[in-house]
């Protein structure tokens, strides 16, 4: 089955400290469920928003997203990335909290890597 990456951001209903507590609770409770369906994930909270990356078989990732979308602890979920993945970044984490700075650094690394891959592939077609 295809390996997939999906990331999103959403607006937390609770104020920052409570949302941070919720994120830690969610990480503690969801790890086993994610692991059972081979999904790895990180979650962060920043300025009243959740952001999460889900990796795993496409169908499994979509089924987790469907459940998350119905969760009353957040709203206005916006998908940021939704596409195939060559290798997992968070293979060791079924569900972990990640500091926002580390989270965004990881995502920037991925974007720069993808851009470099596309440029390399384009150059290869020029010869």
Ligand X SMILES: Cc1cc2nc3c(=O)[nH]c(=O)nc-3n(C[C@H](O)[C@H](O)[C@H](O)COP(=O)(O)O)c2cc1C
Find the shortest distance in angstroms from Cβ 12 to ligand X.
8
Is there binding between residue 52 and ligand X (CB under 6 A)? Answer: yes
Q: Rounded to an integer, what distance in angstroms lies between the CA atom of residue 51 and that of residue 82?
A: 14
Q: Rounded to an integer, what distance in angstroms lies between the CA atom of residue 40 and that of residue 89?
A: 9
Site string for ligand X, 92-121 (x = CB under 6 A): ---x--------------------------
Find the shortest distance in angstroms from Cβ 63 to ligand X.
9
Nearest to 67 by CA among 52, 80, 83, 81: 52
Beta-bridge partners for 3:
57
> Of 42, 53, 60, 68, which lies in the binding site for ligand X, with binding defined by CB under 6 A?
68
Find the shortest distance in angstroms from Cβ 109 to ligand X.
21
Residue 64's Cβ-side half-sphere holds a number of Cα atoms within 13 Å equal to: 29
Contact 39, 64 (CB under 8 A): yes
Residue 107 CB partners (closer than 8 Å, separation 6+): 7, 53
How many residues at the interface with ligand X, by CB under 6 A? 15
Is there binding between residue 71 and ligand X (CB under 6 A)? Answer: yes
| Minimum CB distance to ligand X smaller for 37 or for 110 | 37
Find the shortest distance in angstroms from Cβ 110 to ligand X.
19
Give contact residues for ligand X (rule: CB under 6 A): 26, 30, 33-34, 41, 43, 50, 52, 64, 67-68, 71, 73-74, 95
């Amino acid at each position: 089955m295809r390996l997939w990456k999906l990331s999103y951001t959403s607006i937390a209903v609770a104020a920052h400290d409570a949302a941070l507590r919720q994120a830690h609770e969610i990480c503690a409770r969801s790890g086993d469920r994610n692991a059972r369906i081979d999904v790895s994930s990180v979650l962060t909270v920043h300025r009243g928003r959740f952001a999460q990356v889900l990796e795993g078989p496409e169908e499994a990732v979509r089924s987790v997203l469907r459940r998350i979308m119905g969760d009353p602890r957040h709203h206005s979920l916006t998908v940021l990335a939704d596409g195939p993945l060559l290798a997992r970044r968070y293979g060791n984490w079924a569900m972990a909290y990640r500091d926002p700075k580390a989270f965004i650094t990881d995502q920037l690394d991925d974007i720069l890597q993808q851009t470099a891959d596309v440029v390399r592939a384009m150059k290869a077609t020029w010869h």
